[in-house]
Amino acid sequence: MKTPAQYLVLSCVAFLLFAGNAVAQKPDRANPPRLGPPPALRLAAIQHFALKNGLPVVLVEKHDVPIVQINLLVNAGSTMDPEGKTGLASLVAAMMMEGAGTRNALQLADAIDYLGATITSTSGQHAMAVRLHTPLARLDSAVALFADVALKPTFPEEELRRKRVERLTALLQWRDEPTMLASVEFNRILYGEKHSYGLPVIGNEQTLNHFRRDDLQKFHESWFRPNCASVIVVGDVKPKAILEKLERVLGKWKPGTARAPALPAITQVKERSVVLVDKPETPQTVVRIGRIGVPRTTEDFYAIVVMNTILGGSYTSRLNNNLREQKGYTYGAGSSFSFRPLAGPFAAGASVQTEVTDKALTEFMKELEGILSIVTDEELIRAKNYVALSYPADFQTVAEIASQLEELVTYKLPDDYFNTYITRILAVTKLDVERVAKKTIDPEKIVVVLVGDREKIEEPVRRLNLGPMEFRSIDDVLGKPPTIDSKD
């Protein structure tokens, strides 16, 4: 048997040998290790059921943690706002947590907190959702509260007054936020004031001041119907047990006959133009450049995802590398396609230093032109790996999986969509990227929106000869500052 002193000597010898080898073997930084294959995503089977009233139920079992996520997805949103009532759907969603069933807002919040659960209600342009996240042990009680929020909101007058003040205050704050000014004006130019895509989803002073409790109740009663909805369940449950619970709280829900209002046709940008929103003394210029994009159902979806990743959809994209890393004009530049049931916008943008607004625009145009021609093998591989390697991270929790399933339900995607997504991304070729770039991006037919100090940027931008220039004040974009009466 070795003595402690002998063990100490051996340890020292081993350490010295290791240290000597470490010094002798310098790392080869010229040849970084190659990436391995992207991890495969294998989502559990997607199961489909229906309650007796026809309400579809989509279930994914996940039994590693005793947690359950239930999302009620309703096919209604700002596109269903009645004429002259912009912001109604958004206000309905915001008010659904302010009292439901026999509980007022505080009682409802206390009951949810007591269970260790969370319930939220949200609204978008085409969908509204009520989402429940709960421990399995409290599922029965949590589902009952969830059903009250979804089916029995009370829309109390005092809470409506408070929400009205909150939203009018937000509209007032937008006047000092160049990014919001750019977003509002950009959407208005692309879609016009008669299309819901061209209007702020929270409404305006006139509509907000005219909404009454009856408006909210009528909208909810019209659209919150089982024939306009789906339930998504992810978590530690079995089909028989969860269907029984859902049948108990949602089974008596009756179908309705609501019809979506007709929307005006969407017209593509016909020429390049510049709109400058004057925001005096601002140190930066907010830039938005874009046009009408494509609907989510486009057959070019995967190729567009890869193409946009190269152009402006990642930190190493062309736009960010040019305007941030090489030129230092901005903290970040990028681009995106907003995929929706109807053609959403394509937009590129950044907040740039005021004195380099014209130079930044020159670089934006350079990159928009450049993506129409050559894409290198290195760019293609990097973009596809970026998308493929990051994709499984969106499926780590029950809430994330349920959120992804909302896309599948909304666009009626096939059940193997998630498991084949990475394969389809990796199959995109250079020819695909170049084809969809030419199909979706036309630098000669785009809108350029600038929010900045007109006195400093007008002449330099005018010298670029990008196209006709128009000018807007903040009042032109948002209207007069709203009057806020907290006693209303």
Secondary structure of 388-442 in HEC code, one letter for each residue: HHHHHHHHCCHHHHHHHHHHHHHCCCCCCHHHHHHHHHHCCCHHHHHHHHHHHCC
| Closest by CA position to 117, among listed 168, 67, 44 | 67
Measure the CA–CA gap between 166 and 160, rounded to whole angstroms: 10
Separation between Cα atoms, residue 298 and residue 307, nearest integer Å: 14
Q: Domain of 62?
A: 47-250
Q: Clarify whether residues 118 and 221 are in a common domain.
A: yes
Same domain, 211 and 77: yes
Residues 221 and 301 in one domain: no
- Residue 161: count of CB within 10 angstroms of its CB: 14
3 in a structural domain:
no
pLDDT score of 25: 59
**Residues in Cβ contact with 477 at an 8 Å cutoff, skipping those fewer than 6 apart:** 181, 184, 185, 188, 277
pLDDT digits (tens, 9 = 90+) for 152-170: 999 999 999 999 999 999 9
Tell me which of 250, 265, 299 is where a domain ends: 250
DSSP-assigned states of every residue in 14-32: HHHHHHHHHHHS---TTSP
Q: What local confidence, expressed as pLDDT, does residue 290 receive?
A: 98
**pLDDT at res. 17:** 47
Contact 296, 367 (CB under 8 A): no
Q: Looking at the structure, tell me whether residues 313 and 205 fall in a common domain.
A: no
Is 7 a member of any domain? no
Number of domains in the chain: 2
End-to-end CA distance of the chain: 89
Residue in the block written with tokens 């059903």: 147
Question: 173 and 110 in one domain?
Answer: yes
In a domain, 5, yes or no: no
The radius of gyration of the chain from alpha carbons, rounded to an integer in Å, stands at 27
Residue 355 sits in a domain whose CATH number is 3.30.830.10
Residue 341 sits in the same domain as residue 410 = yes
Q: Specify if 79 maps to a domain.
A: yes
Return the DSSP state at 339: -
Q: Is 69 helix (H, G, I), strand (E, B) or coil?
A: strand
Question: 217 and 96: one domain?
Answer: yes
Long-range contacts of 432-437, Cβ-Cβ distance < 8 Å, separation of 24 or more: 432/300, 432/303, 432/306, 432/307, 433/303, 433/306, 433/307, 433/310, 433/375, 433/380, 434/372, 434/373, 434/374, 434/375, 435/300, 435/303, 436/300, 436/303, 436/304, 436/307, 437/307, 437/311, 437/371, 437/372
Number of other CB atoms surrounding residue 330 within 10 Å: 23
pLDDT at residue 116, rounded to an integer: 97
- Same structural domain for residues 173 and 65? yes
User: Hey, what are 110's tokens?
Assistant: 């206390």
DSSP E strand boundaries for 20-100:
47-50, 56-61, 67-74, 99-100
Task: Please report whether residue 256 resides in a domain.
Answer: no
Q: Give the tens place of pLDDT for each residue, 458-471.
A: 999 999 999 999 99
Q: Which two tokens stand for residue 158?
A: 């005092």
117 and 150 belong to one structural domain: yes
Report the pLDDT value the prediction gives residue 429, as an integer from 0 to 100.
97
Q: Are residues 328 and 456 in the same domain?
A: yes
Q: How far apart are CA 313 and CA 306, in angstroms?
A: 9
Quick one: pLDDT at residue 21?
52
Q: How far is residue 215's CA from residue 219's CA, in Å, rounded to a whole number?
A: 6
Alpha-carbon distance of 10 to 16, in angstroms, equals 10
Rounded Cα distance between 215 and 157, Å, is 12
The answer to whether residue 27 sits within a structural domain is no
Q: Among 404, 122, 132, which Cα is nearest to 249's?
A: 132
pLDDT at 281: 94
- pLDDT (0 to 100) of residue 7: 47
Structure tokens given for 273: 């133009």
Residue 62, token pair as written in the block = 């996940």
Is residue 223 included in any domain, yes or no? yes
Give the C-alpha separation, 216 to 201, whole Å.
15
Q: CA-CA distance, 196 to 204, in Å (whole number)?
A: 13
Same domain, 287 and 167: no
Q: Name the stretches of the chain with pLDDT < 50.
A: 7-8, 13, 15-18
- For residues 41 and 400, give the distance between their C-alpha atoms in angstroms, rounded to a whole number: 14
CA-to-CA separations, 10 to 15, 18, 22, 85, 173, in angstroms, rounded: 9, 12, 18, 82, 70
Predicted pLDDT at 261: 86
User: Beta strand 99-100 with 67-74: parallel, antiparallel or unpaired?
Assistant: unpaired
**261 domain-assigned:** no
**198 and 331 belong to one structural domain:** no
Alpha-carbon span 182 to 351, nearest angstrom: 10
